[in-house]
Amino acid sequence: MMPQLPRAKVIVVALVTALPALPAAAQDYYAGKTIDFVIGGNPGGGFDIYARALARHLPRHIAGNPAIVAKNMPGAGSTKAGVHVSTIAPKDGLTIGAVTPGAVTGPLLDDKPNALFPASKVQWIGSANSSTRICATFEGSKVRTVNDMFAQKTVIGGGSYGDATHDYAHMIRKTTGAKIDVIGGYKGTLDTTLAMERGEIDGMCGWDWSSAKSQKPEWIRDGKLRLLMQIGATPEDELTKLGAQEVWTHVKGDTNRQIVELIVSQQAFQRPYFVHGDTPMEYVHILRKAFDATMADPQFRADAAKMRIDISPLPGATVQKLVQTFYAAPKDIVEQARRAIRP
C-alpha cells in the first residue's frame, strides 16, 4: 500500500519541532558570509522557480542574514549539481544544493553507476513540496482522453535520464500498456511545452502539477491543456474535478503496482535541498531551522501564492528518513523499477 503523503497543514505544525541548542560561535557563523545556492535545473523551469523563491526568503531566518547567490547548474537530470555540491564544494555549510527527485533516486534506479549523486550520504535540509504529477496533451493533439493513449500512438516529450518527464513516460508505457512513444532530450519543461505548441509532440508525462499551474496558467484557464492522468500516492481533488484519472486505475498487475509505488514515492520529496554530508551538524541544524521557519513565513507564503506554486513542506530530518526508506526497498522490485523507466 502506498504511504499517505503528509498534508500541508499537518507539516506546518511539524516544522516547530525543537532543534538542539547551538553554541554561540555557531549562531554567529553566517554573519557576513555568502551562501551559494546551486540549482540543478534550467532557468525559468518549475524546479528553478521553487529554488529561487526559497533563496529570496531564507536569509532572513539565518542569524547573521547572509547573502544567497542562486546559480543554475543543469545537466544529467540535475545530477551534475548534486555531484558538485556533495563532492566538490566545501564542507562548510556555505553551499546548498537543489536537485530533482530523479537525482535522489538515480543511485538506486540508474543502470549507469558512474558519477552518481550520493543521495543517502548528504545532509537534507528539507523539501518545499510533495507533489502530484500529470500526463497531459495540448489542444492541437489528436490524443484527447486517457482512452486515446491506449488506442493510438501518443508522442510524449521528456528530458534526459533521471528527469521525471523522461522516466515517468517510460514507466507509464511499460506498466499500463499505453501506446507512448517517448522523445527525450528536451531542456526542461518550458522547452517541452514549446514543442507541444509547435505540434512536435502530443504532450508530457511526469510534469509536476504545481509547475504546470505556475508555468502555463492560461493553458489551464482556457482549456488548452488536456489533463489525462494524475500520478500520486493519493488523488488530488483539483485534478479529479478537472477529469484527470488516477494512474492506479490503469496499472496492470500487483508487480507493476509495486514498481510504480516505488518510483512514485520520490514525490514525497519533490523539491529537496541539501548540503555536503560532512557539513558540521551545528550548521546543518541552523539551515534546517531556517528552512522550517521560511516555509511558515507569511511573506514566503504570499510570494509562493503569487507565483502559483504549491507549498507542502517536509523538514530535513523527515526527508532524511524517507531517503533511507527508499534505499531499503527489496532488490527485485528495484531491478524491475530500473527497467521500467528506461527505453
pLDDT per residue over 115-155, tens digit each?
Answer: 589 999 999 999 999 889 999 999 999 999 999 999 999 99
Looking at the fold, whether 233 and 329 belong to one and the same domain comes out as: no
Average pLDDT over residues 81-110: 93
Looking at the fold, whether 237 and 90 belong to one and the same domain comes out as: no
Domain-embedded: residue 107:
yes
pLDDT per residue over 270-283, tens digit each?
Answer: 899 999 999 999 99
Whether the Cβ atoms of residue 146 and residue 227 lie closer than 8 Å to each other? no
Looking at the fold, whether 125 and 274 belong to one and the same domain comes out as: yes
Tell me the longest C-alpha to C-alpha distance in the chain. 65
Looking at the fold, whether 251 and 152 belong to one and the same domain comes out as: yes
Q: How far apart are CA 11 and CA 171, in angstroms?
A: 29
Distances (CA, A) of 234 to 137, 165, 237, 265: 22, 20, 9, 11
Domain-embedded: residue 2:
no
Looking at the fold, whether 120 and 210 belong to one and the same domain comes out as: no
Looking at the fold, whether 70 and 106 belong to one and the same domain comes out as: yes
Domain-embedded: residue 274:
yes
CATH of the domain at 287: 3.40.190.150
Domain-embedded: residue 1:
no
Over 60: is that where the pLDDT of 12 sits? no
- For the chain, the domain total comes to 2
Confidence of residue 24 (pLDDT cuts 50, 70, 90): low
Q: Residue 19 class from Cβ within 10 Å (0-12 exposed, 13-18 middle, 19+ buried)?
A: middle
CATH of the domain at 174: 3.40.190.10
Looking at the fold, whether 161 and 274 belong to one and the same domain comes out as: no
Domain-embedded: residue 70:
yes
User: Of the residues 209, 238, 265, which one is the last residue of a structural domain?
Assistant: 265
The pLDDT, as a whole number, for residue 14 is 44
User: Of the residues 240, 265, 290, which one is the last residue of a structural domain?
Assistant: 265
DSSP 2: P
Looking at the fold, whether 38 and 72 belong to one and the same domain comes out as: yes
Which residue pairs, CB below 8 angstroms and at least 24 apart, start in 178-182?
A: 178/149, 178/150, 178/154, 178/250, 179/149, 179/150, 179/151, 179/152, 179/153, 179/154, 180/149, 180/154, 180/155, 180/156, 180/205, 181/153, 181/154, 181/155, 181/156, 182/156, 182/157, 182/158, 182/343
Quick one: which of 297, 282, 285, 327 has its CA closest to 124? 285
The pLDDT, as a whole number, for residue 116 is 82
Report, in angstroms and rounded to the nearest whole number, the Rg of the chain calculated over CA atoms: 19
Looking at the fold, whether 152 and 183 belong to one and the same domain comes out as: yes
Domain-embedded: residue 58:
yes
User: Of the residues 232, 249, 265, which one is the last residue of a structural domain?
Assistant: 265
**Which residue shows C-alpha cell 528539507?**
126
Q: Could you tell me the residue range of the domain that residue 58 belongs to? A: 8-130+269-340
Looking at the fold, whether 142 and 157 belong to one and the same domain comes out as: yes
pLDDT per residue over 302-314, tens digit each?
Answer: 999 999 888 999 9
Looking at the fold, whether 137 and 157 belong to one and the same domain comes out as: yes
Looking at the fold, whether 31 and 94 belong to one and the same domain comes out as: yes
Average pLDDT over residues 244-257: 96
Domain-embedded: residue 3:
no
Confidence of residue 27 (pLDDT cuts 50, 70, 90): confident
Over 70: is that where the pLDDT of 256 sits? yes
